[in-house]
Chain A
């Protein structure tokens, strides 16, 4: 766990990276599935051109890993690549979400501005 903690230190997430990690949770998902999930109700929808570079960055940061799917049908279609969140990914996501919750709590209790000013 401490190794995971060390790896997760100092990793920053962009808004899209956070969205992808939140969507994936603990399940395996392929590109089109992630794209559909993200674009439901999103004000500005994203395409493959934004999704894949973001997945690549997450992979380089060690926050997601992938494996080939075994769902190739009898018609001989191409295999799909399934992405899954790693231990570091879950730790980083939890930290970011905790921070967002703290911000929300502060705004609800009226301590959002300069305390004591």
Chain B
């Protein structure tokens, strides 16, 4: 978590100093896995003028600030990295929003699709998992009510349904 906070601070300061927009909207850093943070690397110049690849986690905030101020950090890499993280995060959310287990076999596909779209929206907003589970159950009750009502109504409604 410490590394994430460091990265966040650095990007904020870089944004301010370089006046170059780094779009981090939609990235929930709290949810990022450690495997992403260990890839946070920047190019820096050492004392001999050689280009070194250094992990952000190995640098203190003051060190990074100095590097940024002297223009030794490649901001494009951080930009690329933030885009990569966003893509991974988005795929992760879609995967997480899927309904699994007995419910996926029981529910109609169209309703599963709707619930997954709802859950995806909640995950993107960073809602807690317990809250998402409760709300999914709440919407499931609505679907159950719809299912029963449709079954009853179809007993007397004239059948014009498409094949």
20 A-B pairs within 8 Å (CB atoms) are namely A31-B111, A47-B139, A47-B142, A52-B111, A52-B147, A53-B153, A59-B160, A60-B157, A60-B158, A66-B162, A69-B113, A75-B91, A77-B97, A77-B113, A77-B116, A78-B109, A78-B110, A79-B113, A80-B110, A80-B117
B94 and A48 contact, CB distance less than 8 A: no
B114 and A49 contact, CB distance less than 8 A: no
A-facing residues in B105-163 (Cβ within 8 Å): 109-114, 116-118, 139, 141-143, 145-147, 149-150, 153-154, 157-162
In the complex, B98 has a CB within 8 A of chain A: yes
Give bound CA distance, A46 to B61, whole Å: 51
Give bound CA distance, A59 to B113, whole Å: 20
A79 and B109 contact, CB distance less than 8 A: yes
Measured between beta carbons, the chain B residues less than 8 angstroms from A65 are 162
Q: Find A75's partner among B98, B139, B161 (CB 8 Å cutoff).
A: B98
In the complex, A12 has a CB within 8 A of chain B: no
Measured between beta carbons, the chain B residues less than 8 angstroms from A56 are 150, 153-154, 157
In the complex, B95 has a CB within 8 A of chain A: yes
Q: Chain B interface: which size bin?
A: 20 to 34
A49 and B112 contact, CB distance less than 8 A: no
Q: Which residues of B contact A (CB under 8 A)?
A: 91, 94-95, 97-99, 104, 109-114, 116-118, 139, 141-143, 145-147, 149-150, 153-154, 157-162
A52 and B113 contact, CB distance less than 8 A: no
Give bound CA distance, A59 to B157, whole Å: 10
Known contacts A32-B117, A73-B94, A80-B114; A49/B143 CB under 8 A: yes
Give bound CA distance, A25 to B111, whole Å: 23
Known contacts A47-B139, A49-B146, A77-B98; A32/B161 CB under 8 A: no
Give bound CA distance, A80 to B149, whole Å: 21
Give bound CA distance, A47 to B141, whole Å: 10
Measured between beta carbons, the chain B residues less than 8 angstroms from A59 are 160-162
Q: How many residues of A contact B (CB 8 A)?
A: 28
Known contacts A57-B157, A77-B97, A77-B98; A49/B142 CB under 8 A: yes
Give bound CA distance, A56 to B153, whole Å: 9
- Name the distance in Å between B36's Cβ and chain A's nearest Cβ: 18
In the complex, A62 has a CB within 8 A of chain B: yes
A53 and B113 contact, CB distance less than 8 A: no
B98 and A48 contact, CB distance less than 8 A: no
Known contacts A30-B113, A59-B160, A77-B116; A48/B149 CB under 8 A: no
- Name the distance in Å between B6's Cβ and chain A's nearest Cβ: 31
B161 and A53 contact, CB distance less than 8 A: no
B113 and A80 contact, CB distance less than 8 A: yes
